[in-house]
Amino acid sequence: MKTYDVIIIGAGSAGLSAQKKISQQTNNYLVIDQSPLGTTCARVGCMPSKAFLQTAHDYHRRLIFGDLGILGEETLTVDLPRILSQVRSLRDHFVASILKNMESWRDKHFIEGQAHFIAKDTIQVNGRSYKAKTFLIATGSSPHIPEPWKKFSTFTLTTDNFFEQKTLPQRMAVLGLGPIGIELGQAMSRLGVSVHGFTKGHKIGNITDPQITSQAIQTLSQEFSLCWDTPQIQQTQSGELTLTTGNTSCVVDKVLLATGRKPNLDTLGLKNLEIEWNDQGSPRLDENSLKIHKAPIWLIGDANQRQPLLHEANDEGSFVGEQCLKKNPPPFKRRTPLSIVFTQPNMATVGKTHQQLQKENINFVTGSVSFQNQGRAQLSRENQGALSLYIDQKTGHFLGAEIFAPAGEHLAHLLAWSLDQNATVSELLSRPYYHPVLEEGIRTALKDARKKMHTEKV
Amino acid sequence: MKTYDVIIIGAGSAGLSAQKKISQQTNNYLVIDQSPLGTTCARVGCMPSKAFLQTAHDYHRRLIFGDLGILGEETLTVDLPRILSQVRSLRDHFVASILKNMESWRDKHFIEGQAHFIAKDTIQVNGRSYKAKTFLIATGSSPHIPEPWKKFSTFTLTTDNFFEQKTLPQRMAVLGLGPIGIELGQAMSRLGVSVHGFTKGHKIGNITDPQITSQAIQTLSQEFSLCWDTPQIQQTQSGELTLTTGNTSCVVDKVLLATGRKPNLDTLGLKNLEIEWNDQGSPRLDENSLKIHKAPIWLIGDANQRQPLLHEANDEGSFVGEQCLKKNPPPFKRRTPLSIVFTQPNMATVGKTHQQLQKENINFVTGSVSFQNQGRAQLSRENQGALSLYIDQKTGHFLGAEIFAPAGEHLAHLLAWSLDQNATVSELLSRPYYHPVLEEGIRTALKDARKKMHTEKV
């Protein structure tokens, strides 16, 4: 049997990034994917969700038209079937571009099918065996379906089928208010769906800072109902669902399950191999190489549950694709942490979160700004939200930030790139701030931190 | 006669920034201003213009509503009197906040009146003389009225009275397509005014890069007519103006003059003093201190014609306010150059412009990106414009950028802050880029530059 240099299992973002690097080193490789092709990002993730959110945010903006002197907003309506269909056509455009990029190597190197390991150096696909020196598992992840919901499957949606809907019902519940739940919850609500959000504990999006969390909850709960518990489920006689927490309940037509994603590892036959497992039931990885201990198998992208973010998946794929054939690869170095949730205002975290800083017992001061009275935010009628910067109390170094602010995605990049350069408060204050811009809010927060560095006790 | 430590002439942004620093060092100071108070920025500049632009950009956005699945945009209209009145009420809000900040010292330190020098250490205001060891001139600038327009004053507007208009006529010409002309020209056109823009030579906004200029011209000329010459003016019998260039002409009701601003120095009596003058007829300044040669007089803000931008005026005011009483002040250090024009897409320059790099004979490569096919720009239906990055061909250091792009104001801050850290192409490529964001466009341009560094001959 022929032995391949590399077999990549999974043609998603991580797998394709790896393929690009591997194809520069060898022709003796295979990519296996059970389809549909096109990546989680383009098919059911980043791209369709952002297209959907865009319409929601644009439509919501009508509410300030009167103040601005634009008349007639009350006659604007949304056509949900058309919105979902334009989301799908944008999605198709992005998927097509990914498939086009695969064309040049697809015939020679791609096999459609489900792979499972029968030995550390052999997989089976469609009943045939393939041997390789190196395997890259990049099988991605799938929405997690909580146990109690399995019997209500006619009522439940996940991101796998959400964008396939021809329209949306009048009343929706969203289970889980992490990044996906809060984004789609707000968007559906802005598009006229009556939305009830449920999550366990007062945590929202990607935010850990109690002050920013409370700002976000206060702002978003003006748009749709947020409930901080897991509901009891009951089907009504008229074919709807009643969701009950404590002594309140609501009736909904469908439920979007957004309670996290689990890695797609179950069908890979990894249990057949003599490898080590961690407490979460995943293969034990070397963090420096992303390689499974005692096997020539790397685990990259969402499948390894490290950082289920597109840019991190690409980085892992590129790194492992570049290094897995080499003798003494350098350790994998992650970029400065950056996570963004595309609600309005945007949520974002940069560097160390508030939670991490507390856990690590780091001595920091928090510089804060509210955007309620920020000049540009007032001019553009987006004066909601707040931003917290964390500064090392002793050295003045910038450590991280949590953001719930207009143009938060841009402010987050600015701060993440600054963190990358190990900047201090005074260095950041010496940067140019144009006028009138939202970035001036960062300056206010920095000045607040500088004052606290001098007044708060170490 | 009492001798003051400092007299500041002008209570605009530069003067007020200086007052803040001076009041921390002495109580023996005066601020003179001939009124109206409230700063150019808040009264007739940054703030009202951005409020006006906001409505224009929001209204223009309706044109993509149909594509997004939002129905009814055709019934949206604008109420110009209401728009201008909301601009004024926002302006009043910002002016009030500036006046409020003056309250604590106004009674003791402020005199309303026009100041003129009768000696290097003495000015007269309202017929009374005031002596000081140090003078700060911060008298700002005013719109320049070109000679041929002086006899058509009933037809002309400048930013001094533009926002005072109760409404706007159907047909407007804009003379001068620098930052102010192009911003207000596009905004008026987006609000339904038929706009004819005139400027001498193919230069637009703050852009100097021929490629970006041509992108901007191509995009903006789809919205309103741009003409690259100075028009001949003729009043019609029916009381309108005919503007003619070459063999085309247009009829307009009013003209916005935006052909630059001149420093307010004429009434100061500087000609009475024995000081040196430069070729432009301005007092000769020491660039390190912003002090007039051979006189205890500093010239700051728009009045010195260095960088007529709000944040630079504030910096100059703070610096001179801090240092003018000291023996050996350090030299004034400007922040990294950053200029933004709030058209849509935004125009911006960062660091060295294309023109400066060419003038200084610097060996650079240009990394480019078009936003036409950029992922996020497509999703948010703002896929217009382009960005050029200039990279030192030998060292790979980032030197500057010119931008005509969606969220250009944010991309410009990101790049300006990066320039501040003397970053190279490879450092910038190692920064985090979330997905899908417009910042990924910068990455595309950086990769383009990196490729050209290797292929283009030094």
What is the SS3 assignment for B151? helix
The closest of B260, B264, B174, B278 to B220, measured between CA atoms, is: B174
pLDDT at A109 (0 to 100): 98
Question: What is residue B247's predicted lDDT score, i.e. its pLDDT?
Answer: 83
Which residues in chain B are contacts of A46 at CB distance < 8 A? 435-436
Residue B369: pLDDT band with limits 50, 70, 90: very high
- CA–CA gap between residue A206 and residue B238 (Å, rounded): 64
CA distance A423 to A398: 6
Residues of A in contact with B340 (CB under 8 A): 434, 437
* pLDDT at residue B34 is higher than 70: yes
Q: Which tens digit of pLDDT belongs to each residue from A355-396?
A: 999 999 999 999 999 999 999 999 999 999 999 999 999 999
**CA distance, residue B70 to nearest chain A CA (Å):** 5
Distance from CA of B69 to the nearest CA of A (A): 5
Distance (Å, rounded) from C-alpha B145 to C-alpha B261?
A: 9
Q: What pLDDT, on a 0 to 100 scale, did the predictor assign at position A457? A: 60
Q: What is the pLDDT of residues B119-151, one digit of tens each?
A: 999 999 999 999 999 999 999 999 999 999 999
Can you tell me the distance from the alpha carbon of A296 to that of A289, in angstroms, rounded to the nearest whole number? 11
Chain B contacts in chain A segment 411-450 (CB below 8 A): 411-414, 416-418, 420-421, 423, 430-437, 439
In chain A, which among 62-81 make CB contacts under 8 A with chain B?
Answer: 64-65, 67-73, 75-80
Q: Do A433 and B311 touch (CB under 8 A)?
A: yes
Residues of B in contact with A417 (CB under 8 A): 414, 417-418, 431-432
Q: Which residues of B touch A76 (CB under 8 A)?
A: 65, 70-73, 76
| B83 in A contact zone (CB under 8 Å) | yes
Number of inter-chain CB pairs under 8 A, A vs B: 204
pLDDT for A247 equals 83
Evaluate if residue B281 carries a pLDDT over 90.
no
Q: Which residue has the tokens 């929601």?
A: A56
Q: Is there a contact between A338 and B432 if contact means CB atoms under 8 Å apart? A: yes
| Mean pLDDT, residues A294-306 taken together | 95
Burial of A362 (0-12, 13-18, 19+ CB in 10 A): middle
Side-by-side strand order, sheet with A194-198? A156-157, A254-257, A171-175, A194-198, A225-227
Q: What is the CA radius of gyration of chain B?
A: 24
- B280 pLDDT band (50/70/90 cuts)? confident
Q: Do the beta carbons of residue B199 and residue B233 sit within 8 Å?
A: no
Which residue, among B20, B68, B94, would best test binding to A if mutated, counting the most A CBs under 10 Å from its CB?
B68
Tokens 């007739």 locate to: B44
Q: Which of B71, B74, B379 to probe by mutation at the A interface, max A CB count within 10 Å?
A: B379
CB contact under 8 A, B71 and A77: yes
Residue to test with chain A: of B431, B443, B446, B447, most A Cβ within 10 A: B431
Q: Which pTM does this prediction carry?
A: 0.97
Is B240 within 8 Å of chain A by CB?
no
Distance, in angstroms, between A168 CA and closest chain B CA?
A: 14
Q: Shortest CB distance from B69 goes to which of A73, A83, A412? A: A83
Residue B458 pLDDT greater than 60, yes or no: no
* Residue in B with minimal Cα distance to A50: B379
- Mean pLDDT computed over B67-96: 98
Decide if B54 and A68 are in contact by the 8 Å CB cutoff.
yes
**DSSP assignment of A360-418:** TT--EEEEEEESSS-HHHHHTT----EEEEEEETTT-BEEEEEEEETTHHHHHHHHHHH
Closest Cα of chain B to A282: distance in Å? 27
- B47 in A contact zone (CB under 8 Å): yes
B243 at interface of A, judged by CB pairs closer than 8 A: no
pLDDT of residue A324: 96
What's the mean per-residue pLDDT of chain A? 96
H helix or E strand, kind and range, residue B340: strand B338-341
Residue of chain A nearest B81, judged by CA positions: A69
* Residue A179, CA atoms < 13 Å, CB-side half-sphere: 17
Q: Check A47 against B407: CB less than 8 A apart.
A: no
Q: Do A434 and B413 touch (CB under 8 A)?
A: yes
Length of chain B equals 458
How much of chain A exceeds pLDDT 70, in percent?
100
Nearest Cα to Cα of residue A160 among A174, A178, A141? A141
Say whether pLDDT at B382 is over 80. yes
pLDDT at B423: 96
User: What count of Cα atoms within 13 Å lies in the side-chain half-sphere of residue A375?
Assistant: 23
Q: What's the whole-number mean pLDDT along residues B18-27?
A: 98
pLDDT of residue B457: 60
Closest-CA residue to A324 (of A63, A450, A136): A136
Q: CA–CA separation, A157 vs A176, rounded Å?
A: 13
Q: What is the pLDDT of residues B384-414, one digit of tens each?
A: 999 999 999 999 999 999 999 999 999 999 9
With beta carbons less than 8 A apart as the criterion, state whether B285 and B206 touch. Answer: no
* Percent above pLDDT 70 for chain B: 100
Are residues B41 and A410, on separate chains, in Cβ contact within 8 Å?
no
Per-residue pLDDT tens digits for A185-214:
999 999 999 999 999 999 999 999 999 999
Report helix angle A13-22 to A310-323, nearest 10: 30
The answer, for A49 touching chain B at a CB cutoff of 8 Å, is: no
Residues of A in contact with B430 (CB under 8 A): 335, 420
**Partners of A257 in the β-ladder:** A175
Chain B residues 314-333 within an 8 A CB cutoff of chain A = 314
8 A C-beta contact, residue A398 and residue A425? yes
Of B55, B76, B407, the CB nearest to A73: B76
Interval B323-341: pLDDT, tens: 999 999 999 999 999 999 9
Q: Which residues of B touch A68 (CB under 8 A)?
A: 54-55, 58-59, 83, 86
Q: Could you read off the pLDDT of A315-345 as tens digits, one per residue?
A: 999 999 999 999 999 999 999 999 999 999 9
Residues of A whose CB is below 8 A from B335: 430-432
Q: Is pLDDT at A458 greater than 70 in this prediction? A: no
Identify the residue with better confidence: B220 or A455.
B220
> What's the gap in Å between the CA of B144 and the closest CA on chain A?
23
CA distance B128 to chain A (A): 37
Backbone angles phi, psi at B299, to 5 degrees: -125, 115
Facing B77 at nearest CB: one of A71, A82, A90 = A71
- Inspect the interface and report whether the beta carbons of A54 and B68 lie closer than 8 Å: yes
Q: Would you call A336 and B431 a contact, using CB atoms and an 8 Å cutoff? A: yes
At B455 the pLDDT is 80
Among chain A residues, the shortest Cα distance to B90 is held by A379
Q: Please say whether the beta carbons of A162 and A256 come within 8 A.
A: yes
Phi and psi of A96, rounded to 5°?
Answer: -60, -35
